[in-house]
A and B are shown apart, each in its own frame.
Chain A
Amino acid sequence: MRKILRFNLSLNLRTFLLIVTTIFSLFAATLANAEGEVKLRDLKYGTILFDYYQQNYFSSLVGYEIAHSRGELNHQINEARLLHGGMTLSYGLPDEAEGIFQQLLNAKSTADNDSSVEITDEVRNKAWFYLAKMYYHKGEAKKAAATLGYIHGDIPQDIQNEFNYLATLINIRNHNLNSAEQALDGVMKGSVFEPYLIFNLASSQLANGDTHRSEANFKKVIEYGKDHLQEEFQVLADRAKQALAHINIEQGDLLAAWSHLQFVRTTGLYSNRALLSYGWTAIKLERYDMAIPALSVLDKRSISIAEVQEAKVLLAHLYEQQRAPRTALKHYLLAERAFTSGIESIASARRIIDGQRIPEEFVINLDAMMDETDWYGSEPSLDYNKLTPFLIELMSSNSFHTVLKELRDLYALRKNLNYWSRQAKEHQLIISHRHQGWSSDSLLNFVSKSRAQKDAMEVSISELGLHAKTLSIKEQDRFAPLLDSMKEDFKFLEKNLKKISKIEKPYKKSEKTLLWMAKLHKRIKQQLQQTDYMIKKLENVMRIVVNAELDKHEERMRYYWAQARLGKARLYDQTLNSIEEDAIQQAGPQ
């Protein structure tokens, strides 16, 4: 299939964030898919693929380096180099990967290519494609578009979908929205990426002020959710409904907004904002009785959620407005209690993050903990879970994700280097054992002991020979082969003993290998120190960022807490006033 998409250049910050996060998680799988099922020719290439397909990028990279250094990638050298670029990128070494792809693309002929096979158009096109993806991932959309433009001829079949997807993303990012829309109506129709692309396109159109087309596209996402009942598409549809409600509110059409919000599901991470929006819209429409159930649902959720904090005060305020002072007072008091516990949770979260060492498990498993859907409706029990809810907003930040990813990689490096530190001790043990086993003294002892045994055997054999001569001829014939065989064995033993006796020094591992080993062990120590230093630096960054986030939460919570206290004081005041007024009224007629 020929290239069908054109690229224009421009940038939108929000789209950038959306797309970067999407492309980042998709890249690894994309390259693996793009490789497809390869016909195995190099055994070592197969072992690299085995690790790569399991997303063990570190192992696959090490495997590639070993095979490359031994010259074991003879038949699939260009495929292996392409894969090398992909593995390097997936492992988080974009600069290195760029060099690999460029090197591959610069190899124009067998003369300037260190492989024996000239690279094919297919390999070249794939390399351009991955390079474009890499630029896109780095946020360089213009460069990505230009790089895609270098692809000549047919798009390799196995990357066709990915190519169209990337091209559409680039068009959206570069505000070439018409081309993106055309692609969605054509080549991307029916693709698994379709609803996400439509959603991204709609967001970009909204940001560009093209409300009409944006609305139409958000509606398409909702329709898609009706036909595809998987959770991910339902979540996407929920977001589209919220976006439509947002558009309607901006236009002052509260009823239309409310009608969209009514169909947003009330469970899941994204339901909080929807419920609060629903409550506010109902209040603005003066349908107070409709707002209460939505706010009551939020009221039961974790206090660490910003929407819940707002809902608690709003609910009490609503009862106050509806002239139900007792219920309002009860809700203000309950809110106060919840805020006290919320502030305690923040203090507890601070203790976790300020601990001497940030728990590795927390950093490693943060994504999994964020993916859990039950925490929003329940009170956290585990220490880490006390911290997790406060980090939802932070998790949407690309920079924070980079910190987490780098920290995880550094922890993995530390684990690997610690393993090699232990192995280094074993290497030394093996060498020292071999030296002990074959020291000059032990060799000398062995030789002299063997000589004594040989002398004793020589005497025994000669005695046996003499003794045999005293036997009858028939018996002598019977024993003769045995004696001959014994003499042969003895000669063999004597010969070997002579050989061993000639050894002046026992066998030792070559000095070169030992020197090499010592250098490697030194490198382990150095790299471990460097890793620890970087972990410390990044953990410090993480502490600063998380503490700033907790400050934000604490300020917000204290604000709503103060609102709750004000509401309570107001109601007490009103009650006192009414008691006073009653008393005056009662005293009046007297």
Chain B
Amino acid sequence: MKKIRLTNSCILIFLSLLLSPTYSWANDQNIDFAAQENQKNAQQALDSVKILSKEIQGLKKSVVDLNKDLLLMEEELLFPSSTRLSLFVSLDIGQFFTLESVKVKLNGKQVASHLYSDKQRQALARGGVQSLYITNLNLGKHTIAAFFTGIGPNGRSYKRATELEFQKKQGSQYLELAIIDDSAKQEAKFTIKQW
């Protein structure tokens, strides 16, 4: 990330310096190669963007609000709170395990799987939590099993699974597939937490 941001800013800095009139010292530097009127219009057009930017900010805010409302409405339509079950993935540090993929079976049927990019892995390692799956479930007993694949200690490929029998109660229910570093055992621990 560091490299990208420095490169981008650097390019802009250099371009601004490189192309500024002060640095053009060649013989033809005094020739004005721009039709004055057109350049004036261009500057006016660019200035008008400042005013437009205010309107765009307002629009962006409105679209964020609309998305919030639509998502809330859609969730109510498709996943009523009485039957909703949400599944999350978290990673605590990830020193002993590099997560590559996760697969989830609910009552014996595969319902979700995900392959992780570097960016997603980093986001998880820094405290982010992924919302993996959301579904409707009847009240009563259910079984969930999660299968994790990745790279374990010493760079070896690593596969682990964990299972939980849980009671779906009235109201929204949250389950967290947590990967936690176990410093004592020098390996990762895989658990399913109920919230």
Closest residue to B59 on the A side, CB-wise? A530
Q: Give bound CA distance, A410 to B34, whole Å.
A: 31
Chain A residues whose CB sits within 8 angstroms of the CB of B22 once the complex forms:
246
Is A541 touching B46 in the complex (CB atoms < 8 A)? yes
Contact A556:B33 (CB < 8 A) given known A399-B46, A402-B49: yes
Is B9 touching A196 in the complex (CB atoms < 8 A)? yes
Chain A residues whose CB sits within 8 angstroms of the CB of B73 once the complex forms:
427, 513, 516-517, 520
Contact partner of B57 (CB less than 8 A), chosen from A18, A96, A200, A538, is: A96
**Contact string against B for A residues 190-206, beta-carbon threshold 8 Å, 1 for contact and 0 otherwise:** 00100010011001000
Closest residue to A283 on the B side, CB-wise? B27
Chain B residues whose CB sits within 8 angstroms of the CB of A25 once the complex forms:
5, 8-9, 12
Contact A524:B195 (CB < 8 A) given known A25-B5, A38-B127, A92-B60: no
Chain B residues whose CB sits within 8 angstroms of the CB of A423 once the complex forms:
70, 74
Q: Give bound CA distance, A36 to B129, whole Å.
A: 15
Is B12 touching A396 in the complex (CB atoms < 8 A)? yes
Is A235 touching B14 in the complex (CB atoms < 8 A)? yes
Chain A residues whose CB sits within 8 angstroms of the CB of B65 once the complex forms:
65
Is A43 touching B46 in the complex (CB atoms < 8 A)? no
Q: Give bound CA distance, A62 to B61, whole Å.
A: 10
**Contact string against A for B residues 60-77, beta-carbon threshold 8 Å, 1 for contact and 0 otherwise:** 111111111111111011
Is A555 touching B74 in the complex (CB atoms < 8 A)? no
Is A551 touching B35 in the complex (CB atoms < 8 A)? yes
Q: Give bound CA distance, A166 to B173, whole Å.
A: 45
Chain B residues whose CB sits within 8 angstroms of the CB of A387 once the complex forms:
none
Is B67 touching A62 in the complex (CB atoms < 8 A)? yes
Chain A residues whose CB sits within 8 angstroms of the CB of B26 once the complex forms:
276-277, 280, 310
Distance from A505 Cβ to chain B, minimum over Cβ atoms (Å): 20
Choose, from A47-55, A335-343, A349-357, the stretch at the interface.
Answer: A47-55
Is B6 touching A46 in the complex (CB atoms < 8 A)? no
Contact partner of A47 (CB less than 8 A), chosen from B2, B13, B77, B131, is: B131
The verdict on B174 contacting chain A, using a C-beta distance below 8 Å, is: yes
Contact A531:B59 (CB < 8 A) given known A47-B130, A232-B3, A277-B26: yes
A-B CB pair tally, cutoff 8 Å: 271
Chain B residues whose CB sits within 8 angstroms of the CB of A403 once the complex forms:
46, 49
The verdict on A287 contacting chain B, using a C-beta distance below 8 Å, is: no
Is B16 touching A53 in the complex (CB atoms < 8 A)? no
Q: Give bound CA distance, A480 to B1, whole Å.
A: 78
Q: Give bound CA distance, A399 to B53, whole Å.
A: 11
The verdict on A61 contacting chain B, using a C-beta distance below 8 Å, is: yes
The verdict on B15 contacting chain A, using a C-beta distance below 8 Å, is: yes
The verdict on B184 contacting chain A, using a C-beta distance below 8 Å, is: no
Is A413 touching B13 in the complex (CB atoms < 8 A)? no
The verdict on A37 contacting chain B, using a C-beta distance below 8 Å, is: yes
Contact partner of A54 (CB less than 8 A), chosen from B18, B66, B78, B120, is: B120
Q: Give bound CA distance, A200 to B64, whole Å.
A: 38
Contact partner of A273 (CB less than 8 A), chosen from B3, B18, B76, B176, is: B18
Is B123 touching A417 in the complex (CB atoms < 8 A)? no
Which chain A residues (15-57) contact chain B, with CB distance < 8 Å? 17-18, 21-22, 24-26, 29, 32, 35-40, 43, 46-47, 49-54
Chain A residues whose CB sits within 8 angstroms of the CB of B109 once the complex forms:
none
The verdict on B31 contacting chain A, using a C-beta distance below 8 Å, is: yes
Chain B residues whose CB sits within 8 angstroms of the CB of A399 once the complex forms:
46-47, 49
Chain B residues whose CB sits within 8 angstroms of the CB of A269 once the complex forms:
11, 14
Chain A residues whose CB sits within 8 angstroms of the CB of B56 once the complex forms:
92, 406, 409-410, 534
Contact A270:B14 (CB < 8 A) given known A69-B72, A548-B42: yes
Distance from B59 Cβ to chain A, minimum over Cβ atoms (Å): 6
Chain A residues whose CB sits within 8 angstroms of the CB of B63 once the complex forms:
413, 416-417, 527, 531
- 27 A-B contact pairs sorted by A residue (CB < 8 Å): A22-B9, A26-B9, A32-B126, A43-B174, A46-B127, A49-B128, A51-B128, A62-B64, A62-B68, A62-B71, A65-B65, A92-B56, A92-B60, A196-B10, A232-B6, A242-B18, A280-B27, A392-B19, A396-B19, A399-B47, A427-B73, A517-B73, A524-B70, A527-B62, A545-B46, A549-B42, A552-B35
Additional pairs, 4, CB under 8 Å, beyond known A370-B11, A416-B63: A35-B127, A280-B26, A420-B70, A556-B31
Contacts from B to A (Cβ < 8 Å): 1-3, 5-20, 22-28, 31, 33-35, 38-39, 41-42, 45-50, 52-57, 59-74, 76-78, 88, 90, 92-93, 119-120, 122-131, 174, 176, 195
Pairs of residues from A and B, 6 with the lowest C-beta to C-beta distance, nearest first? A46-B129, A50-B128, A548-B42, A396-B15, A53-B123, A21-B12
